Amino acid sequence: MLGQPYDASHNWMGQSSEHFDQKLAALDLSLFDAISSQSVKGDRIAWLRLQQAARKLSNPYAYLEIGSHLGGSIQNHLVDVSCSQIYSIDKRPPRQPDDRGQYYEYENNSTERMLQNLRNISPEGTEKIHCFDSDAAGVDLSKIKNKPQLCFIDGEHTQPAVKSDFQVCLEACDPDGMIAFHDDNVIWPAILAIRNGLQARKQRFKSVKLGGSTFVFLLGRSSQFIYPDLLTSETDGDQFLSQQQSKARFETWIRKPARALVPSSVRKTIKPWFKSLVD
């Protein structure tokens, strides 16, 4: 489905745009109440802060996401009159692999189901949504007329898929835009490889670890003036990736061998003293 350009004069469910602006400024999580999403409070706060940053980059702004499912991470952009276009890319698989070593089921995973969820919030708002039922790599980028200031990757959680999705976003988005990821605790090896690739190409960027399991690369000029506003703690993106590498090495060289070599009865006895070693 290709929608028409969104008329920014439309208000959110009969309420003024100023009312929405107040909610966004307050990081009001009720903006996510209408459609459930697989996210925690920290994620939702991070997503609203990224939305604030997108508005700062460009007003109006465009939003692109890969892996939309029910529309839970679209709904806050749907009702924002500053968001002129939404691009949703999702190949809509009934199940897909995951780097945690299992498959995840997505029952009745259809674009029409998502759009109906969003129509229930704002029928007019859905006019600005462009849907692509495809793998991101198969999308004709010439159909993304307005370069997004914010891209959000939450598709298949495997390293090849994440890297491919990022490349699509990098080609599609505003050169000064932002590319964010969900479930960074799972896909961090792909994020690390992407970070290293950006460094090797001497691309101007900043990596930022946000709340929940959200991570973002700030490209071009956004890496300068958006970064201070987004930083929520002393842990930046590079520190987060370094910590994940350390945890992975610990798991490989200490924790797994300890589980294999130390009987469970012994582990239970010494666990209070050596919990980090043998748990």
Domain residues of the chain, as ranges? 17-233, 235-279
Q: Collapsing DSSP states into helix, strand and coil, what is residue 190?
A: helix
Lowest average pLDDT, out of 88-92, 102-106, 114-118, 163-167, goes to 102-106
Q: Which pLDDT does position 2 carry in this prediction?
A: 35
Lowest average pLDDT, out of 4-18, 50-64, 102-116, goes to 4-18
96-151 confidence digits (pLDDT tens): 667 666 655 556 779 999 999 999 999 999 999 999 999 999 999 999 999 999 99
Q: Which pLDDT does position 95 carry in this prediction?
A: 57
Output the CA–CA distances (angstroms, integers) from residue 235 to 11, 208, 243, in the order listed.
38, 8, 10
218-258 confidence digits (pLDDT tens): 999 999 888 878 876 656 899 999 999 998 887 765 655 55
Domain 17-233 CATH superfamily = Vaccinia Virus protein VP39 (3.40.50.150)
Could you tell me the pLDDT band of residue 215, with boundaries at 50, 70 and 90?
very high
Task: Tell me the Ramachandran region of residue 229: left when phi exceeds 0, alpha when psi lies from -120 to 50, beta otherwise.
Answer: alpha
- Assess contact for 169 and 137: CB atoms under 8 A: no
Q: Is the predicted pLDDT of residue 24 greater than 90, yes or no?
A: yes
Could you tell me the pLDDT band of residue 17, with boundaries at 50, 70 and 90?
confident
* pTM of the predicted model over 0.75: yes
Please report where in the chains the tokens 């003024």 appear, as a residue: 16
Cα dihedral sign, 146-151-156-161: positive
Q: Is the predicted pLDDT of residue 13 greater than 80, yes or no?
A: no
Q: Is the predicted pLDDT of residue 62 greater than 70, yes or no?
A: yes
Lowest average pLDDT, out of 1-5, 108-112, 203-207, goes to 1-5
Joined together, the tokens standing for residue 52 give 């604030």
Give the distance, in angstroms, between the CA of residue 154 and the centroid of all CA atoms in the same chain.
5
Average pLDDT over residues 204-212: 95
Average pLDDT over residues 46-72: 96
Q: Which pLDDT does position 37 carry in this prediction?
A: 86
- Assess contact for 173 and 149: CB atoms under 8 A: yes
Report d(CA 100, CA 102) in Å as an integer.
6
Q: Which pLDDT does position 168 carry in this prediction?
A: 98
Task: Tell me the Ramachandran region of residue 263: left when phi exceeds 0, alpha when psi lies from -120 to 50, beta otherwise.
Answer: beta
Greater confidence (56 vs 269) lies with 56
Q: Is residue 160 classed exposed, middle or buried when 0-12, 13-18 and 19+ CB atoms within 10 A define those classes?
A: exposed
CB proximity list for 183: less than 8 A, separation 6 or greater: 154, 157, 213
Q: Which pLDDT does position 278 carry in this prediction?
A: 41
Strand order in the sheet with 61-66: 129-132, 83-89, 61-66, 150-153, 178-182, 214-219, 205-209
Give the distance, in angstroms, between the CA of residue 46 and the centroid of all CA atoms in the same chain.
9
Mean pLDDT of the chain: 86
Counts for the chain of helices (H) and strands (E), in that order: 11, 9
DSSP 123: T
